[in-house]
Structure 1
Amino acid sequence: MESNIYRNKKPLFVFLIPAFIFMVIFLYYPFVKNILNSFQNISSLGAASKGWNDPWYTNYVKMFNDPNMRTAILNTIIMMLVTIVGQVGIAVALALMVDNIKKGAKFFRTVFFFPIVISATALGLMFNLIFLYDKGMVNQLLEFLGKGTLTDWKDTAHALVIMLLPVMWQYVGFYFVILITGLNNIPEELYESASIDGATRWQRIRYITLPMLRNVICTCVVLAVTGALKVFDLPWVMFPKGMPLGKTWLTGTYMYYQAFNTKNVDYSSAIAVVIVVLGIVTSKIVNKVFKEADY
């Protein structure tokens, strides 16, 4: 005899009301308010709006003419590509290698995941010390090897690469754990059958592992691409205010700079709207390109 709790759905709505109220207050209202702020004239944080801009789309026109915004979007696109290759790609390679070893698998899983638990601020400071002009670890190593004079690694030529390295390194472990979980869900019988048929290890990876991991890889790629739009803390610690010469701006860091440094709140709100639009568009494109397969 079935319990009435499975037939009567009305109590479910009572339990959903607190979560719905929470989402309205802390998600939907700020999102709608931010869109409205992007069309208004707001002089500083906490200040009331002075009215609608004239014309109302002033901030969006300003973005098209803002060289720093163009730099931020270009750098963010570069970061998206780097996350696909440098985070998801390396995570796939590491997951396949760890899955094929018999001893020490737990050790490598812990080591690869460890950067995730470190604060991004601490990582930024650590990489700043590594690439210091005078006594950084890289320059001391070059000096020890007799490879010429010390180099300012955070100059304009190297700044973007220096910023991308720690971001890529930190999140490889995150996708590594997701992929390892996907590998554990592949039936062992498939590998046994392939071995009986004479398949080599590479053939088992190519025709069994990678196709069976396709949906997991697609999920990782979507997370990596959308996550690149929200990167803020680590790049800001390493290159505050887009230094040097404003060449390291990302959409997230430039939005923060406009809101908290120049107090240009309405322009910052417009940048936030663009970030949301870019996130929706890129996620749709990625879902089309890396379309999940039905098995």
Structure 2
Amino acid sequence: MSPETAAPPIARGAAEKVALRPSGGQQIDRRSSRAKERRRAQLIAWAFLTPVVVYLLVFYAFPLLRNLDMSLRDYSVRTFVDGSAPWVWFNNYVAVITSPTFGPALLNTAVFTLVSIVFQFSIGLALAVFFYRSFRLSGVLRALFLVPWLLPLLVSASTWSWMLNSNSGVINSFLNAVGLPSVNWLTSPHWALVAVLIANIWIGIPFNLVIMYSGLQNIPADVYEAASIDGANGWQRFWRITFPLLRPVSAITILLGLVYTLKVFDIIWIMTRGGPGSSSTTFAIWAYQLGFGSTLPDFSPAAAVGNLLIVIAVVFGLVYIRVQRRMDLS
């Protein structure tokens, strides 16, 4: 009997494992190849990430830092050119907050933003639920509702300015036809903000319609079938199924609408230019008026107003993140 056949099975198995185990050189080669693969993956990731980082630094970080620097200095046309603006620290913010325009601009910004979001979201959600039920020509009608969103804002604002004109506008012609008096939509301090609100709501409805319609398509049909079998009516299905399941989509839609509406400028400027007086002046309009709307521009106060607008948007963003985390934990 040979020594190999005489060895017990356990010893033979151990010997086979030792024979199959890679040598020290092979282990080093495998480790080096894995390290090279990790480095290669990291280089590929940085190659994709670098353009985004450069874009954010050039078009976001640098303008923000530049705007902050302008708000802490006293810039005029001459000092803006030669770069010799002196530091005044927070004097521009104090001047902006104590300005008589600050209160009306803050109130107009809040009213314009909140009213726009409430009506845009409500009407957009109602239209999304309406078009979710398939019927003849639903696709054509849904496409027509996208027209306000696709039109350039210059065209939309100019069209609404013509429609709301006090003398030749079709809105006043309709009011006169039904026996109601004409309204000075664009020249009255009481109606100017309402006029730009109507135009902005009309423009923002298609965005909410598209997003909410997409969210409705992600809700399983089995849930509605089970609710119908249990005897739930349409209103109960909406409040118990549709609306709760649309909360994530609704939250991001409201946040995006909030950020967009806070910085609306072109619609208001084309229709009323923030007037009459300051009746339709928001922070975006006020910043433009300070920086570019006069013969002697005040760049530093304009930058301060812009920074206040950014702070408001960031605060609402943080509130959204906190609410979203609570919803995820609950």
Could you tell me the TM-score, scaled by structure 1's length? 0.90
Would the aligned equivalents of 1:116 and 1:174 in 2 still touch at CA under 8 Å?
Answer: yes
Alignment of 1:73 with 2:109, yes or no, is no
Give the direction of change, closer, same or farther, for the CA distance of 1:204–1:153 in structure 2 (3 Å limit).
same
**Alignment correspondent of 2:201:** 168
| Residue pairs, 1:88-127, within 5 angstroms | 88-127=121-160
Tell me which moved more, 126-135 or 181-190. 126-135
The answer as to whether partners of 1:42 and 1:48 remain within 8 angstroms in 2 is: no
Matches within 5 A, 1:1-295: 8-44=41-77, 47-54=81-88, 56-148=89-181, 150-154=182-186, 155-240=188-273, 242-262=274-294, 263-288=297-322, 293-294=327-328
- Provide closer, same or farther for how the CA distance between residues 81 and 290 of structure 1 changes in structure 2, counting only shifts above 3 A: farther
Pairwise CA distance, 1:38: 0.5
Q: Give secondary structure in 2 for the equivalent of 1:9.
A: helix
CA–CA distance in 2 between the matches of 1:167 and 1:106? 24
Structure 1: 5+ residue stretches without partners: none
Q: Distance in 1 between matches of 2:112 and 2:43?
A: 47
Larger Rg over CA atoms:
2
Letter in 2 for 1:255: A
How many angstroms does 1:33 deviate by? 1.1
The worse-fitting range, judged by mean Cα deviation, of 139-148 and 81-90 is 139-148
* Structure 2 unaligned residues grouped into runs of 5+: 1-33
Superposition deviation, residue 289 in structure 1: 5.2
| Structure 1 residue matching 2:77: 3-state secondary structure | coil
Shift of 1:70: 2.0
SS class of match (2:82): coil
Identical aligned pairs, as a percentage? 28
Give, as a single letter, the amino acid of the residue that structure 1 aligns with 2:255: V
1: CA distance, partners of 2:288 / 2:275:
14
Q: 1:214 to 1:18 in 2, by over 3 A?
A: closer
How far, CA to CA, are the matches of 2:114 and 2:166 in structure 1? 28
Distance, in Å, in 1 between the alignment partners of 2:48 and 2:320 is: 35
Q: How far did 1:175 drift?
A: 1.0
Distance 1:70 1:196 in 2: 55
Q: Deviations over 1:141-192 (max 9, x none)?
A: 23333434x4322211111101111001101110110000000000111111
Matched position secondary structure for 2:113: helix
Q: Following the alignment from structure 1 to structure 2, what is the Cα–Cα distance between the partners of residues 59 and 268?
A: 9
The residue type paired with residue 156 of structure 1 is P
**Distance in structure 2 (CA, Å) of the matches to 1:192 and 1:152:** 51
CA drift of 1:277 comes to 0.5
Per-residue deviation, 1:287: 4.5
Q: TM-score, normalised by structure 2?
A: 0.81
Give the number of the structure with larger relative contact order, counting CA–CA contacts within 8 Å between residues 6 or more apart. Answer: 1
Judged with a 3 Å threshold, the aligned counterparts in structure 2 of structure 1 residues 205 and 6 are, in CA distance, closer, same or farther, namely farther
Verify the 8 A CA contact 1:95 1:176 in the aligned structure 2: yes
Count of matched residue pairs: 291
1:215 CA displacement: 0.9
Deviation at 1:198, TM superposition (A): 1.9
Query: Using a 3 Å threshold, how does the CA distance of structure 1 residues 48 and 165 change in structure 2: closer, same or farther?
Result: farther
